Structure 1
Amino acid sequence: MPDIHDLYEVDAGRPAGADAPTPDRNVAARLAGLAREQLWWDRPAYLDDAGTWTHGELHDWAARAATVLIGRGVRPGDRVLLALPDRAEWVGCFLAVARLGAVVVPVNPALTVHEHSTLVADCRPVAVIADGPAADHFDPAALVGPAQLDRLARAATPAPAHPVDDRTPLYIQYTSGTTGQPKGAVHRHADFLHYHRAVGEAMLRLRPEDVSFSVSKLFFAYGLGNSLVYPLHSGSAAVLTAPRPGPARIAELVRRHRVTVLHAVPSAYANLVAEVTDPEPFRSVRVAVSAGEPLAPTLGEQATALLGAPVLDELGSTEIGGACCANRLDDNQPGTIGRPLPGYELRVCDDSGRPLDGPVEGELWVRGPTLLTGYLHRPEETARVLVDGWLRTGDRVTRLPDGRYRHGGRLDDLELVGGITMSPVEVERLLLTHPLVREAGVAAVPDDRGATKLRAYVVCAVDQATVPGLADELIGLVRSRLATYKVPRSVEFVAALPRTPTGKLRRFVLRRGLQRPA
């Protein structure tokens, strides 16, 4: 059997235009060819709410759907916005747009009309593929309904792949907007193979027999890799479901499809541990992955015990496109984000961008083959984060003596308390060690006099009213372990923490004073 890399060799260090564009460098054609070469054509690729699609059915449908999109005026370089719930057609539409040399813009279909309008104004798509409530948010003249696309595709002839080179734009993915307006990160046709080499191969050792399930959706960078890139490069299958699954639904899907690889964010694992006590549905799981936020060691231990499989913490970003640093099956140290993945170099820098030697804390800078080419229409923002081939991630990390890294949260997560800068992540991790705490968020909140005080927002695993004195107990826990200025002055029990659709904490909302009582 030929090696996957023999079928498509990429040298991201070549200057743009070093090779003439060719159809076989188009990611849609390359993945279809890979499925044929590796004899995956008739293997299951997607298990969604409507049934099963094989790899061959997916690639054939995508090639025919591309012909339909040509008829709708889509040309190479055009942008096509994709606002669908997770299902096999989502992947087929992505590959259809890619086949034409056009650029996919995946977005969350659950955004408001204002949020969708803002993204449309930024990326200016020539077509929008959407259905359900999201379809009403877009210009009818640009709208392509997936039902109509499917009907026409089944009668169409397959479109040939448009020639591209390694640097041809493939998709634009918007950042999650944890600190403000989302920005569109531009990625290339060559990037997918590098994502798979780093995670699918080196980290997870995926094989055709695997079945993956990602709680994070396809429109998110984490979900795109989990449910599109790795399955199509490994010949394996992925489970897709349109609604956001709760703990009971996750357990049901894992049991029904005998999922072997589970991907989720820490808040999803926290809910799973709190609400599912029977480990039986997870007997098929051989490995799980956590990303999006730091995974507290206590939560990692609890999730590992429930799943009966290691939970590997990884760090990536929309700007990188995938993960750059992670624990692995053969090298897992809970409480860390592991070591750099193949193809990526990591630096720890001070505030001025000067590299720091030895075990040290600072900002993480990354260099590798998949860094964004830039933010769409934002040259100043691009110049700020891309410096001499390195990406300033905005993540605070500690390089440990053994070469592993520990994630300390985002630089913009730092709080100023009594004139001292501190990391709320440290406090949150400690609060999460309490058996009654499911989630915790800490922020500096102004009191009625305008003075900034540290407040902890806690989601309890039980009704806190049944545990008198719990707030004092949590404050005492922090006081016993951390410096006085890191101790929250108050605890507010809430039903849920404010999060992005991808599961990241919106700390700036906490700073305003969250009013969502439990």
Structure 2
Amino acid sequence: MTTPQITLTPAESQAPGNLAAQLAGLAERRGWVDRAAFHQGHRAWTHGEVHTLAARAAGVLAGHGVRPGDRVLLALPDGIAWVTTFLAVARLGAVAVLVNPELPAAEHAFMAHDTGAVLCVTGPGLEDRFADRACLGADQLVALTSVAEPADACPVDAHTPLYVQYTSGTTGRPKGVVHGHGDPKAYHDLIGRRLLRITQDDVTLSVSKLYFAYGFGNAFVFPLFSGSSAVLVDRRPAPAAVDELVARHRVTLLYSVPSAYAALVADRGSGHEACFGSVRAAVSAGEGLPDGLGGQVTELLGAPVLEQIGSTEAGHAFCANSFDHNAPGTVGRPVPGFEVELRDRAGCPVEEGAEGELWVRGPTVTPGYLNRPEETERTLVGGWLATHDRAVRQPNGAYRHLGRTDDLEMVGGITVSPLEVEAVLRLHPAVREVAVAAVTDGRGVGRLRAFVVPVAPLTAGLEDDLVGLAREHLAAFKVPRSVSFVPSLPRTPTGKLRRHLVRQGAW
């Protein structure tokens, strides 16, 4: 397909801070307009097509009343509609609210209310969740885009809010994290170009989705700023599907989480090693890489594993391994432009070689949480972000991650509040006490398990009942994979739960 050349309007040339205008101009200047930007199924979209569609989608959104500063909620699976809708929102100077479309209805309703979204763009079957405000189905938006006039880019600066992503705190209450128009370019320049050496010839596959910080950088920001392309999949692919996608698209950069890498390794008996000849690096983040797994992945893929750590608040990685400095078993050195300190509970720097909490300062750290001034004040102090991650600095300058300082679990690269899961399981009358933790299985991967002190006597079928209850009230990634019935839970003399013992699965 021949792609129309992108013509920059006077408004675009006067809006250099607008992300959509930046990317459209970059594609034009670098000659990327006819290069593939995204692949999905057996279809590819060029950089030129993406920016043309986004400009027209912006015209549709403007016709639905979206104005600069308005918040537009995106409850969409990964796909070209997600990409063009995000760019359309950015083009108008509005703020995209990125949410996981698989969340329960109550969480979607909370996020729409919390942000005051003026419009919700949704995937199939989700429109009824946002009946109290204007809603536009993705299919309807695509149809209208095909006949719409393009909208000009709104002038903004680097600090103008661009998007909001939600994370969970220790109580499980979602918090909206704000990032500006200047942040994505920094993600690319500091991580994509400098550490990962991404060029226009790279092809990306990210298991993490676009509505998460990790996936947003990997599969949206990096391709559009580098002229490369990304393979989009609306659901997490099974190992066999990863094989097929990598082989078909000649993927060069694979981004995933330890649990998915462990599944690939476990499936290696299928003789799929030949599929990965194009891969030049496997990036791992979202949770700690279990000992030994990185070596197994390297053996399978024939490529180095580059582990990193980041957060929604930082936008992407703040510590990362690279081709120049790769220290297996660590999350790497601070990303260029970032400062990292290890502090004790009082907020004072720890001695060299001692364990501490990671505090981070850098160009993309959020200015704060949406509508949460007190939590912003606690977490952001003098420009420094308290990550609640524990680590120790190695002699080579890399940091070894030791887990979280708060009551959060990482499962499949996604943060889960055990308190939220426990609250649901306690609804069952046969549950006396319950504790939930990510327990390492035989492959070294964390799986969510519920430890239940039942009301005597233990009834048959209780495990199935509890899992069913969780599925009814929680997102799929928050549902325990198993239930263990125990006589008691480990507690301190003052009655506090010893979560570190729960995670070990034995006491």
TM-score (norm 2): 0.80
The answer as to 2:47 corresponding to 1:41 is no
The answer as to 2:135 corresponding to 1:129 is no
Retained in 2: the 8 A contact 1:171–1:186? yes
Query: Superposition pairs for residues 249-288 of structure 1, below 5 Å?
Result: 249-277=241-269, 278=271, 279-288=273-282
The answer as to 2:84 corresponding to 1:92 is yes
The answer as to 2:352 corresponding to 1:346 is no
Query: Superposition pairs for residues 42-441 of structure 1, below 5 Å?
Result: 42-49=34-41, 51-139=43-131, 142-176=134-168, 180-277=172-269, 278=271, 279-413=273-407, 436-437=442-443, 439-440=445-446
- 1:393, 1:313 → 2: CA distance? 17
What are the superposed Cα offsets for residues 16-53 of structure 1, whole Å, 9 maximum, x if unpaired? xxxxx951110000011011111111100000126110
Per-residue deviation at 1:81?
A: 0.3
2:461 corresponds to which residue?
A: none
The letter of the residue matching 1:317 is S
The letter of the residue matching 2:391 is V
CA 1:196–1:180 in structure 2 vs 1: closer, same or farther (change >3 Å)? Answer: same
1:419 corresponds to which residue?
A: none
Per-residue deviation at 1:444?
A: 10
- 2:476, 2:293 → 1: CA distance? 19
Per-residue deviation at 1:409?
A: 1.0
CA 1:314–1:119 in structure 2 vs 1: closer, same or farther (change >3 Å)? Answer: same
CA 1:506–1:322 in structure 2 vs 1: closer, same or farther (change >3 Å)? Answer: farther
- 2:340, 2:478 → 1: CA distance? 23
- 1:112, 1:501 → 2: CA distance? 6
Per-residue deviation at 1:222?
A: 0.5
Retained in 2: the 8 A contact 1:327–1:339? yes
The letter of the residue matching 1:370 is T
Retained in 2: the 8 A contact 1:172–1:184? yes
TM-score (norm 1): 0.78
- 2:274, 2:477 → 1: CA distance? 26
Q: Give the number of aligned pairs.
A: 433
| Greater Cα shift, 401-410 or 439-448 | 439-448
What are the superposed Cα offsets for residues 235-269 of structure 1, whole Å, 9 maximum, x if unpaired? 00000011221111111111111100000111111
- 2:76, 2:334 → 1: CA distance? 33
Per-residue deviation at 1:178?
A: 7.3
What are the superposed Cα offsets for residues 395-446 of structure 1, whole Å, 9 maximum, x if unpaired? 001111221100011112599xxxxxxxx99xx7xx66xxx53534599957
The letter of the residue matching 1:153 is T
Identical-pair percentage = 54
Secondary structure of the structure 2 residue equivalent to 1:132: coil
The letter of the residue matching 2:67 is R
Secondary structure of the structure 2 residue equivalent to 1:217: coil
The letter of the residue matching 1:437 is R
What are the superposed Cα offsets for residues 278-320 of structure 1, whole Å, 9 maximum, x if unpaired? 2111111100111110112311111111111111110000000
- 2:92, 2:301 → 1: CA distance? 42
The letter of the residue matching 2:338 is Y
Moved over 3 A (4+): 176-179, 440-449, 500-507, 509-514
RMSD: 3.0
| Greater Cα shift, 180-189 or 109-118 | 109-118
1:420 corresponds to which residue?
A: none
What are the superposed Cα offsets for residues 316-368 of structure 1, whole Å, 9 maximum, x if unpaired? 00000000101101211110011011110000001011112422210000000
Secondary structure of the structure 1 residue equivalent to 2:188: helix
2:419 corresponds to which residue?
A: none
Retained in 2: the 8 A contact 1:198–1:323? no
Retained in 2: the 8 A contact 1:266–1:290? yes
The letter of the residue matching 2:445 is E
What are the superposed Cα offsets for residues 106-136 of structure 1, whole Å, 9 maximum, x if unpaired? 1111112112111112111000111212223
| Greater Cα shift, 28-37 or 296-305 | 296-305
What are the superposed Cα offsets for residues 147-195 of structure 1, whole Å, 9 maximum, x if unpaired? 2222222222221110101110000000156751121000000101111
Secondary structure of the structure 1 residue equivalent to 2:406: helix
Retained in 2: the 8 A contact 1:265–1:503? no
The letter of the residue matching 1:89 is A
Query: Superposition pairs for residues 481-492 of structure 1, below 5 Å?
Result: none
Query: Superposition pairs for residues 477-516 of structure 1, below 5 Å?
Result: none
Q: What runs of 5+ residues in structure 1 fail to find an aligned partner?
A: 1-20, 416-423, 450-493
